[in-house]
Amino acid sequence: MVEKKHTRAQFATRLGVIATTVGSAVGLGNMWRFPYEAGNGGGGAFMLLYILFILLLGIPVICAEFVIGRETRSNVLGAFKQLKTSRFWQIIGYIGILSSLMILSFYSVVAGWTIEYFVQSIVGNISSDVNFHEQFVGFTTGWRALLWTVVFLLINLLVIIRGVRKGLERMSNIMMPLLFIIIIIFCINSLTMPGASQGLDFLFRPDLSKFSWNVVLSALGQAFFSLSIGLGCMLTYASYFNDKTNIVRSAAATAGLDTLVAILAGIMIFPAVFTFGMSPAEGPTLMFEVLPRIFSMMPAGAIWATLFFFMLFLASLSSTISMSEISITFLTEQGRLSRSKACIVCTAIALFFGSLCALSFGPLERLNLFNLFNNISSNVLLPIGGMLISIFVGWILDRGVLRRQLTNNESIRVPMFKLIIFCLKFVAPVCLAIILIMGLIG
């Protein structure tokens, strides 16, 4: 049994546990990536596969990270050192730290785009007179993209430097309910549109002709990417859980609410897309070119656009907070830095590489660290990290540790115990290996 560090900071409430872990998962993966992946994947066909993979892959791997995190109450590298296993497994920690810094760097660029469009909405530049493709290209290739990346990372710093309860937990308790309220307002508005029935039919009615190997892989990759598993985010947050936190219930709530946000994003977007005669398969530009065009044609479009991009900003911030925490806990516990110094170091690294990523569509187009970091982290490091975590907990970790953590020392029943182990041993490693192989050859 690993000796527990009871002096370590802990979340104060169950709401804090759910809000922070859901905040870690909810982000641009739900609001930006899910709608265009679902659009390209035929809507209902993609949705059905996505939910299946959340159940078979997402919840078990979140449980695995939660188990390691609370058992060791340590950072993503220190956890595997404490478990006194082969040094090989410490590679999971290094992968988590490297991939989190990469994602924080390029993710902050996209988050900066949301601030730009939020500002443009406020000043009234989301109008029918604008060529939204030229506007997007002009902005992303210019220096304003760098400015907003810096601004966003400084906002992120203001949150993380305040610590676990006053920073992470308090902000998550505010941002997550606010995010859900804004999404629901959008969904209600979308359901009143003329194209609502077409949009809902597209999203929820599986078309068997749309099933293909590419759609399966797309849904599998989205389920994995959306939940931020394989990074160590969930492991790090679980190290702040108290002994009474129900790990399985928290994992199910995290995956369920994350999926709900993705589905609500679809309900919010596709009725509007069909109402205004757009294509649901617009791809990555859906959020920054197609939707602004739709807002420009809506009554009170500037208000809706402002609210929408503010919502995207909140979703972005909730994710970057968790990305930052992986490196911060490593620097404070392994590097012996104070939290404030660790936050500054983490932000400085993200500022340097994030600046290079921000300029990847303009002055540094040939280098293009944005695409490089995106591809390496999403297609290589995350699948490897998730696969190794699944194998470690499923095959290597002492079964007594797994049972003790999942059942809170036999104080609660876990009917899915054997199913979780089966998924970690066989389903998750195979699925993640497929994602890795396709990422390497694709």
User: Which tens digits make up the pLDDT trace of 384-425?
Assistant: 999 999 999 999 999 999 999 999 999 999 989 999 999 999
Residues 6+ apart with CB under 8 A from 305: 117, 121, 126, 292, 295
Tokens of 223: 């389920």
Q: Across residues 180-205, what is the average pLDDT? A: 95
Distances (CA, A) of 293 to 35, 120, 127, 428: 16, 13, 7, 40
pLDDT tens per residue, range 21-67: 888 888 878 887 898 889 989 999 999 999 999 999 999 999 999 99
Residue 94's pLDDT is: 96
Residue 205: pLDDT band (50, 70, 90) is very high
Domain tally, the chain: 1
The answer to the question of residue 2 being in a domain is no
The answer to the question of residue 260 being in a domain is yes
pLDDT tens per residue, range 373-386: 988 998 899 999 99
Residue 4: pLDDT band (50, 70, 90) is very low
Q: Across residues 1-24, what is the average pLDDT? A: 70
Tokens of 40: 């390209």
pLDDT tens per residue, range 132-165: 999 999 999 999 999 999 999 999 999 999 988 8
Distances (CA, A) of 399 to 214, 393, 427: 36, 8, 18
Q: Evaluate if residue 282 carries a pLDDT over 80.
A: no
Q: Evaluate if residue 322 carries a pLDDT over 70.
A: yes
Looking at residue 277, which CATH number applies to its domain?
1.10.4160
Contact yes or no for 72/392 (Cβ under 8 A): no
Q: Greatest CA separation found in the chain?
A: 65
Residue 59's pLDDT is: 96
Cβ neighbours, 10 Å, residue 7:
7
Residue 2's pLDDT is: 45
What is the Cα–Cα distance from 332 to 345, expressed in whole angstroms? Answer: 11
Q: Across residues 85-102, what is the average pLDDT? A: 95
The answer to the question of residue 3 being in a domain is no
The answer to the question of residue 376 being in a domain is yes
The answer to the question of residue 47 being in a domain is yes
Helix axis angle, 14-25 to 247-275, nearest 10°: 50
Residue 20's pLDDT is: 86
- Residue with structure tokens 């199910």? 252
The answer to the question of residue 1 being in a domain is no
Q: How far is CA 36 from the centre of its chain?
A: 16
Dihedral sign (CA 121, 123, 129, 132) = negative
Tokens of 24: 């870690």
The answer to the question of residue 238 being in a domain is yes
Residue 441's pLDDT is: 84
Residues 6+ apart with CB under 8 A from 155: 317
Share of the chain above pLDDT 90, in %: 70
Report the SS3 class of residue 101: helix
Residue 195's pLDDT is: 95
Q: Across residues 95-113, what is the average pLDDT? A: 96
- Write down the mean pLDDT value for the chain: 91
What is the Cα–Cα distance from 251 to 238, expressed in whole angstroms? Answer: 10
Its domain, for residue 263, covers 14-441
pLDDT tens per residue, range 327-348: 999 999 999 999 999 999 999 9
Q: Evaluate if residue 118 carries a pLDDT over 80.
A: yes
- Residue with structure tokens 């082969």? 86
The answer to the question of residue 419 being in a domain is yes
Dihedral sign (CA 385, 391, 394, 400) = negative
